[in-house]
Amino acid sequence: MHRRKFIKQVGIGFVALQFLPTLGLAQSRKDNKAYSSLPLVRIDVVKGERSDKELAELADVIQEVLVKTFNAPPKDRYQIIHEHKKGLIKTLDTGLGYPRTNKIVILQITQQGRTRTQKQAMYEAMGKSLEKIGVPQTDLIISVSENTLEDGFLGLNKA
């Protein structure tokens, strides 16, 4: 994409992107797979099973793991915590041989360009890190989906 056209399309967003070369990153996420765009994380839990403080800690740990394993920008934090009434999250045993509890945490992570190795590292780190704050690995489900730069809108950018 021509640089002038790129500046016009993203408007104010270019201010941040123009400094990326000094960090060893390309000017465009699209042009450089080393640039790690922010993930959007939906966190589904059972209502009433965690205090506000516990939910905040859960969200903080998730962000820390994504910064480490997905090379996510530390200040780009997009998380949606959704609490469901008891009985509305259905996580039946599908032959795994372990029970689920009302402490279940389901993460839906939408991201761009992470490798299989990065995803596997994230799964392992997420399981271990959340276990330290009381989420048994048997109560953790993670789904990662991929989108493209064109599939998101962050406000002032033009679609």
Active site residues: 39
- Which residues have a Cβ under 8 Å from the Cβ of 125 and sit 6 or more positions away? 65, 68, 69
Residue type, 40: L
Residue 92 belongs to what H/E stretch?
none
Q: Starting at the edge strand that comes first in sequence, how are the strands of the sheet with 40-46 ordered?
A: 78-84, 40-46, 105-111, 140-146
CA atoms of 138 and 97, how far apart (whole Å): 10
Residue 115 is classified by DSSP as -
b (16+ CB within 10 A) / e for 107-127: bbbbbbbbeeebbebbbebbb
